[in-house]
Every structure is written in C-alpha cells, then in structure tokens.
Amino acid sequence: MSWTPSSWRNFPIKQQPTYEDQALLHRVEEELASYPPLIFAGEARRLKEKLAAAGRGEAFLLQGGDCAESFSDFNAKNIKNLFKLMLQMNMVLMYSTGKPIVKVGRIAGQFAKPRSSDYEEKDGVRLPSYRGDIINSIEFDEAARVPNPKNMLKAYNQSAATLNLLRAFSRGGLADLNKVHQWNLEFIKDNPLGKKYDELSNKIDHAMKFMAACGLTSDMMPQLHQTTLYTSHEALLLNYEEALTRKDTDTGDYYDCSAHMLWIGDRTRDLSEAHIEYFRGIQNPIGCKVGPSMGEDELIALIEALNPDNEEGRLNLIVRMGASKIAEAFPPLLKKVRDAGKNVVWTIDPMHGNVEKSSTGFKTRNFDNILSEVEQFFAIHKEHGTIAAGIHLEMTGNDVTECTGSTSCAITDEGLASRYHTQCDPRLNASQALELSFMLSDAITEA
C-alpha cells in the first residue's frame, strides 16, 4: 500500500478536534509546512542507533517530562530545572549501572492530550474537554474550549525556543561533569536525598580530578562537557505532524521533524486507524504505549505494521499496565514477542496505569505503586531472559505536590493541595524522581 504524509486522512481517527474554520486550518497547515524542521533526520537516525543499544542491554533509556507542556508555564526556569533533573538522574543511573543513558525529554512539542471523555462537566455545566494547548485552552468556559488552528503555530514557536535552549544547555557548559554539584536543585539540597546525591557528586569529582591529573581534562574531551537530550512527544494531532513531515535529502526517506522520537498513545493505537497509518511511513524511532487491553496477536500485528523489517531501535514498546495488572497482563505479551524473534525496546511507563483519586479529590498517583510497577517490570524481564531497556516518566524539575508518597518528601492526600500545578496528569517532583532513580539503579544492577 502506498504511503504519503497525508494518507492517514483516509482512515478513521480518534481523539481529534473538530475545527470550525477549515480555511484557517488549511492556511495554518501550509504555513507550518513552509517553516524549518525542528530536528534533522541524521539526529533521529543517531537516536535509533542508541535505542538499538538499549534494546540489547548496552544502554538505558531515560524518557521523561511534563504530561502536557503549556503556553502559560513556558519559561527558562522550568526548562532548566527539568534539564538539571535529567542530568542528575543520568548521573545516578550511569554511575551505578556503568551504562550510557539515552536521555529523551517529553518536551519541545508535548502539547496534545488524549482524553477519556469528550466532555467535562462542572456544577451542571457541560463543555468540550481540554485537549492540550496546541488545540484549545484549559479555562472552563465555552470560548476557551473551541479548537483554534493558530495554536499549532504557537506550539511550533514554543517548541523551537525550548529546543534552542536545550541545545544551548547541552553544548554550552551546563552539562560539564565538573559541575555535577551545581545540578542539585535548590529545594532538595538539604534533604537526605540531596545529601545522597552530593556523596555521588563527590565521587565523580574525585574521578574527574584523577583524570585531569592524567592529562585528560573536560575542555579537550567533548564527552565530558557536552551531552545530548533528545526530544519526544505523543504525535496525536496529525495535522501538525503531517505539516512537519519532511523528505530527507540524504536517504529519500520521510521523517517527522517535529521531534526526534514520536509515540502513539494507548487510546489511538487501533491497527485499522489513522495513527498506525501515519507512523508506518516515518523513519524516526517511534514508541507505542501498551496498556492492559492489548491482545497477544494484536501486538504481533502491530509490530509487523510498524517495524516490518524488524529493525533494531525502531520500535519502543512502552508498557503501562498498572501495579495491580502488570504481573498478569505483561508476561504473555513478552513471551509472544520474544518467541516471535521481534526486535523491540521494552520500557516501562509506571504513571498511566496508576492514576487514582485522593481522598481530598485530586487526580494523583502513589509513589509505592509507581515503584512497584517498575520493580515488577524488571523482575518479569529477568524471569524471561529479556531486556528491561528503559523508563518513561511524567516528572518536573520543580517542587510540586502532585503524586503522593515517597520517603524523601512524603506527600499526603492533604498535602496535594499546596502546590498542585499540573496542566493534566500528576507528575513526580524532582525529589521523587531522584529517589526513583536511586531505587532503579539498584534494580538495573541486580538484573
């Protein structure tokens, strides 16, 4: 079957806005299509190689960031704090596992959100759901919820500026291994976790001094003063993704140049629908969420549709079952894929299967459930002789109170109210994410 960047339009599609002004939509699509790509195809190919290494157990994928980026929270501090948190987690994981960590942010394009209901009801008033800032606005009034095509232009510009800053941080000195102490975030410096991180930083300092004494300093070795943070998002709004799809002049292949890696959500992975059609034609590394409703034969068919050449590093299956379901639902899928000889990169998203409502009425996730799902994921892989290749988290470098539990900051149901800032799902705060990294490094080392 022939594929084009727009062939998805011939298939049924879920979770899309209905734009009233089609002429405006077309103008926006044309404008976006004339803009420069945000990433270069060569970078996406490089990430694919790194993911292939993760799939073989030679590296580990750390993917994380906001559930949803927003226009209102767009500032340098938020970007910098997430970048620093990624560097800290990278250091914890790299030091304990001795493996390179592939860092991929849910950032610079993570704007469109699938929703469990098309409508939201409050005090008897029913409005269309909020679908992310690239589509409509979060305020609970009629006008705010009308999808506006122009939001796509704003999302593109915000993504470009975000990516620009990330590239500057990566290359400009902030990631220098002589600065490991400075990555510690202000609000965790003094808690036991901050101290634990400081101890690790001291060891790295010693190693750096030893190497400098040998004549190897960071200014002569780019590996020691630079890093790479790749970008990713759920490619949900296909009008936007199509407009940023470009033919690579080197290879003649198509790439979605809105991010290095894109994934398909658990609600839009139907084999006969538009998202599968779009994704099969782009050559970026891609992900697909695997929730508890996934069937064994369905998964094999999905792998064959998305990765017909069984290419390593092409397909990341992001398991998100929930702590109470993974033990039953995941092993049959894993066995089937293993026995079929399919090359996939298995990672765990311990966030989306563990959503609950707190006694105080907040949408939250409990740290113990998150940790439990991660631990079970590793144990199941160990039992099957397969590779747990990475983790996918919703997290922020800021001091928010959105997920309950953890020993480092112990947020209670009552405590959620104090700094509950998320635009969509509850995120781990920096302290919880760092705590998870320390626990994760034990699990990886054991595996």
Q: What residues make contact with Co ion under the rule CB under 5 A?
A: 67, 425
Q: Which is nearer to ligand PEP, 64 or 147 (CB)?
A: 64
Specify the stretch interacting with ligand PEP by CB under 6 A; choose among 3-11, 128-136, 182-190, 265-273.
Answer: 265-273
Measured from the CB atom, the residue of 224 and 288 that comes closer to ligand PEP is: 288
Closest CB 226 distance from ligand PEP, rounded Å:
29
Instruction: Decide if residue 427 touches ligand PEP (CB under 6 A).
Output: no
Site for ligand PEP in 34-93 (CB under 6 A): 67
As measured in angstroms, the least distance from the Cβ of 132 to Co ion is: 10
Taking the complex as a whole, how short is the minimal distance between the CB of residue 439 and Co ion, in angstroms? 22
426 binds ligand PEP (CB under 6 A): no
Candidate segments 20-28, 134-142, 148-156, 263-271, binder of ligand PEP by CB under 6 A: 263-271
Choice from 48, 84, 103, 289 touching ligand PEP (CB under 6 A): 289
Whole-number minimum distance, CB 139 to ligand PEP, in Å?
21
Task: Assess 114 for contact with ligand PEP (CB under 6 A).
Answer: yes
Q: Residue 232's closest CA among 267, 269, 255, 263?
A: 263
Q: Pick from 128, 149, 265, 350: which binds ligand PEP (CB under 6 A)?
A: 265
Nearest distance in Å: CB 262, ligand PEP: 12
Size of the site for ligand PEP (CB under 6 A): 9
114 or 281: whose CB is closer to ligand PEP?
Answer: 114
CB of 9 to Co ion, least distance (A): 27
Which residue number has the CB closest to ligand PEP? 265
Name the binder of 374 from Co ion, ligand PEP, none, CB < 5-8 A by kind: none
Residue 375 within binding range of ligand PEP, rule CB under 6 A: no
User: Could you tell me whether strands 125-128 and 363-365 are parallel, antiparallel, or unpaired per DSSP bridges?
Assistant: unpaired
Of 241, 256, 266, 402, the residue at the interface with ligand PEP (CB under 6 A) is 266
Distance from C-alpha of 330 to C-alpha of 290, rounded to nearest angstrom = 9
**104 phi, psi to nearest 5 deg:** -130, 120
Q: By CB under 6 A, name the binding residues for ligand PEP.
A: 67, 114, 234, 265-267, 289, 320, 352
